Structure 1
């Protein structure tokens, strides 16, 4: 019996049970032996400590097979005043929290790095490679690898998201191949990758470092991990910050009619991206052309360029540009607030090239090259023969998704109506989750309405292109006693954007002091700085 058939046989029972109680309660993992962490000096940095730590593959069988997790620790600057360990997660899913630990102390404030060891755990299935003690180290990787005797699969789609009938059919064919490969050739970690499994790992590491309760900072998908831990272990929270927040209900089950759509069409990310871009157009027009090249109907220029791109590729001195590539690059660039001037420069250059006087020299190629160099990839990528489903292995295990083949198409249309230009991109990210072969029997899907031993600090950015502030507001409404802190700015999350936010983080992490209700911090730098 294939993995997919096994999972489908129990899928209905799991979904129904999750509405009443988590399929594997935190208490069920309580009998797991606490490992001893053997810290060693990291080979790449003498100030860091590294370790590989065994944990159960399946917490329902804690004495069974073990897998290894990679940990990196940045020791507290003032060990004699150390409060404990701050665990961190930088999101994804698929990001290496162990690698993030290297620079996280510089992002979270001087007082934080003085008073806490900062520890990143590579989530199960995620194989980061920096500061490795041995060749090939990393947390147990998830892999779906083709065997030599397997027939070749369809080519990996090279577009950011499909639009035409032929592109949609090619994406659906690849999704079928991807799921089939994971069903036949996926290693056993694929059935044990839920966020709840990672929360159990984190609680085990909390015990291993000797902390009575957890101190945690998570950004982006790390907010799902933080919310899941808080809901599973409400009495074990010492201080817990979630930043760039995803609504955990939207992530896991959705609400009402949301069940008709694939998971990433429920997050509101398409609207977040649309709002972030269009509010930046308004700011561009406000500050004027001296600070923002596209000022003077910036939104109108963008829409004219986009409509032309939808009609076909546009030639630039540096090559052809197409609609999907441009929208995907814009989304990745919007993650960093410092990239918005580059976005406006590109829009202005493209507008001049397409609609300006014939004698205007084209800057579009150079502007595009600068934008591509600055962007942060916002979507998962795949290889030809080996697929590492670090993103889908988690999201698809965590979330309830429709099972009909038309679901991704329906979801794309729904999301595109909510966030024109970005809905198709965001919704197709989770198209493989339709009939995903990995098991979700250990996933946690609520309830999230709990009162924690220390109230959570929930942080939202007013113009976040990936996790709109609605996610922070939703979690704030779910978690009893939690406090919301708002940053009035652009970009994804709040790290490095505001000394005001950093100060609130330090006060909460060290003294567990929450900011005053309704606190709104400002960014340290304007979106469009004045020319020096």
Structure 2
């Protein structure tokens, strides 16, 4: 499969970007050839076999990589090799992730390492793309505008979403039979080993979040003797994932929701402050019912930005809030309070100010290409997630009636089941990967895994972290006592110290360790008693302070699939 035909994607560069870097300046190479791409970053396009099941083929994929370099050169004995990162999805850009957070990772994990972000197959600036919908086309615009809503949006929303993914699956079978075969997680695991070996190292060092934990356990099971450090954070139930149903993700969503509502009850700063969780919940339920009956019309003074806010957006907003509750709860509940009064202008501005005309759909003058930041790929295409996740999974033959039954079961697990649309995509997908690893989820790894789970993660439960850890010899689960999706959702000196010790020294927390956090949903006015000072050195305190500030500037968060980023603060 040649790499030609994708130049338009690579040539679209941001007019606001201060560097002259362009991905198409780099010729893919089987050796890592690094090019400056904005100080201090280096970028490369790494040529790997397109299809590992065809060793005789000379066709290549080109993996886009970004490097936040170690302060040490590779020939320095203090250099500790690369750490690879995956932010989740599937479909999220590792290039974007490390471009935003390379300094944070260097501060927490260590300056001794190179910190490497890469776009997995089918994602971002890695080629080839899946290619079902042409990037930037009117057809893609229609699919983007028609993205899945909360299934409670109307009586026929689930049916419409089901049919939408039947069509997408049929289109993929006609248009992307070859490319969709080569974007599996198993192939990405092989790519990670190739990247590691290109650095002159034999064993992988890795931090994967959310879907990145499935990639992590896939690697650990396929290559148990190639693990130097492997951290999985916000752990996916791999058995549920390969079933293609995504039914177990939200088992702790209500626990997470109660955490935010309880904070609102405890603080008079909360815009929906009441004296009980039930009363806060009742106000939001009433708002949803009101908007379901009649959505709110909004328009700015110039008439350039306009639309409606409906019940499904509020429902989806609740789940979005729970991904990063320490930064979003106050802002989202304030927005809901405004909506109660019929004021939707500020809410629409906050959520959609930058999204009314996505840059990839802006028609440029003349023959110029629409600008796209070289470190922020175009919004995830609709086929990215099913091509990867459904190709990884066993074939799904769920009928519409069976799908309704799945949502009924999930509704018994969580009141937020209607916001979790991910059981739908695989019902229409008809392609399977050239290589798909589907277990067993076991491994006598050359170094034990560090597994992190939050006590109230809305979409990857602590239960799943403990379940997956059991299959890997001497793996240890570190519990972070917080809400939010992944350990990065909150500030925790305790968690950060264990992560640093793991990568630098290989040490693991004692079994059953629970880390507290420094984050608060609503800062308290009360004078707190002086807590016992934890045993951190002056250097560690300085490092944590620096990491906290970097995190604030980077606006660190993980988004739900297909939720646009907004201007809202993260914490």
TM over 0.5: yes
Any residues of structure 2 matched to 1:85-234 within 5 Å, and which? 85-108=82-105, 110=107, 112-128=109-125, 138-145=126-133, 157-158=146-147, 160-163=149-152, 164-186=154-176, 188-234=178-224
Any residues of structure 2 matched to 1:239-278 within 5 Å, and which? 239-253=229-243, 262-265=244-247, 268-278=248-258
**CA distance in 2: counterparts of 1:77 and 1:116, whole angstroms:** 8
Report the counterpart of residue 72 of structure 1 in structure 2.
66
Report the counterpart of residue 326 of structure 1 in structure 2.
314
**CA distance in 1: counterparts of 2:505 and 2:145, whole angstroms:** 50
**CA distance in 2: counterparts of 1:317 and 1:156, whole angstroms:** 18
Contact 1:206 1:214 in 2 (8 A): yes
Mind listing any 5+ residue stretches in structure 1 that lack a counterpart?
1-33, 129-137, 254-261, 354-361
**CA distance in 2: counterparts of 1:275 and 1:371, whole angstroms:** 27
**CA distance in 2: counterparts of 1:521 and 1:154, whole angstroms:** 42
**CA distance in 2: counterparts of 1:108 and 1:156, whole angstroms:** 35
Report the counterpart of residue 392 of structure 1 in structure 2.
386
1:416 aligns with 2:415: no
Q: What SS does the corresponding residue of 1:453 show, helix, strand or coil?
A: coil
Report the counterpart of residue 517 of structure 1 in structure 2.
511
Match of 1:47 among 34, 40, 50: 40
Q: How far off its partner does 1:170 sit?
A: 2.2
Contact 2:498 2:509 in 1 (8 A): yes
Cα distance change, pair 374–244 in 1 and its aligned pair in 2 (3 A): farther
Any residues of structure 2 matched to 1:314-463 within 5 Å, and which? 314-315=295-296, 320-336=308-324, 337-350=326-339, 353=340, 362=341, 364-365=343-344, 368-369=347-348, 372=351, 388-400=382-394, 402-406=396-400, 407-420=402-415, 422-426=416-420, 428-463=421-456
**CA distance in 2: counterparts of 1:88 and 1:119, whole angstroms:** 6
Q: How far off its partner does 1:297 sit?
A: 2.0
Q: How far off its partner does 1:304 sit?
A: 4.4
Match of 2:267 among 272, 278, 288: 288
Mind listing any 5+ residue stretches in structure 2 that lack a counterpart?
1-28, 300-306, 363-379, 527-571
**CA distance in 1: counterparts of 2:296 and 2:145, whole angstroms:** 25
Q: How far off its partner does 1:429 sit?
A: 2.3
Q: What SS does the corresponding residue of 2:115 show, helix, strand or coil?
A: strand
**CA distance in 2: counterparts of 1:173 and 1:61, whole angstroms:** 35
Cα distance change, pair 139–296 in 1 and its aligned pair in 2 (3 A): farther
Deviations 1:400-423 (A, max 9, x none): 354132232222222122111x21
Q: What SS does the corresponding residue of 1:119 show, helix, strand or coil?
A: strand
Q: What SS does the corresponding residue of 1:190 show, helix, strand or coil?
A: helix
**CA distance in 1: counterparts of 2:491 and 2:55, whole angstroms:** 42
Deviations 1:205-233 (A, max 9, x none): 11111112111001111111111101111
Q: What SS does the corresponding residue of 1:424 show, helix, strand or coil?
A: helix
Q: Identify the range of structure 1 (316-325 vs 293-302) with the bigger mean alpha-carbon deviation.
A: 316-325
Contact 1:313 1:322 in 2 (8 A): yes
Q: What SS does the corresponding residue of 1:143 show, helix, strand or coil?
A: coil
**CA distance in 2: counterparts of 1:314 and 1:374, whole angstroms:** 19
Q: What SS does the corresponding residue of 1:47 show, helix, strand or coil?
A: coil
**CA distance in 1: counterparts of 2:241 and 2:161, whole angstroms:** 23
Q: What SS does the corresponding residue of 1:251 show, helix, strand or coil?
A: helix
Report the counterpart of residue 236 of structure 1 in structure 2.
226
Q: Identify the range of structure 1 (327-336 vs 362-371) with the bigger mean alpha-carbon deviation.
A: 362-371
Deviations 1:129-185 (A, max 9, x none): xxxxxxxxx33211103799x9x9999635513344433332232222111111111
Contact 1:143 1:186 in 2 (8 A): yes
How many residues are matched? 457
Return the TM-score normalized by structure 1.
0.78
Q: What SS does the corresponding residue of 2:250 show, helix, strand or coil?
A: helix
**CA distance in 2: counterparts of 1:189 and 1:78, whole angstroms:** 39
Report the counterpart of residue 35 of structure 1 in structure 2.
30
Contact 2:50 2:182 in 1 (8 A): yes
Cα distance change, pair 530–39 in 1 and its aligned pair in 2 (3 A): same
Q: What SS does the corresponding residue of 1:240 show, helix, strand or coil?
A: strand
**CA distance in 2: counterparts of 1:91 and 1:436, whole angstroms:** 21
Report the counterpart of residue 313 of structure 1 in structure 2.
294
**CA distance in 2: counterparts of 1:370 and 1:277, whole angstroms:** 25
**CA distance in 2: counterparts of 1:248 and 1:66, whole angstroms:** 29
Q: How far off its partner does 1:113 sit?
A: 3.8
Q: How far off its partner does 1:472 sit?
A: 1.0
Across the aligned residues of Structure 1 and Structure 2, the Cα RMSD in angstroms comes to 3.2
Q: What SS does the corresponding residue of 1:86 show, helix, strand or coil?
A: strand
Contact 2:296 2:310 in 1 (8 A): no
**CA distance in 2: counterparts of 1:401 and 1:375, whole angstroms:** 38
Contact 2:267 2:522 in 1 (8 A): no
Return the TM-score normalized by structure 2.
0.73
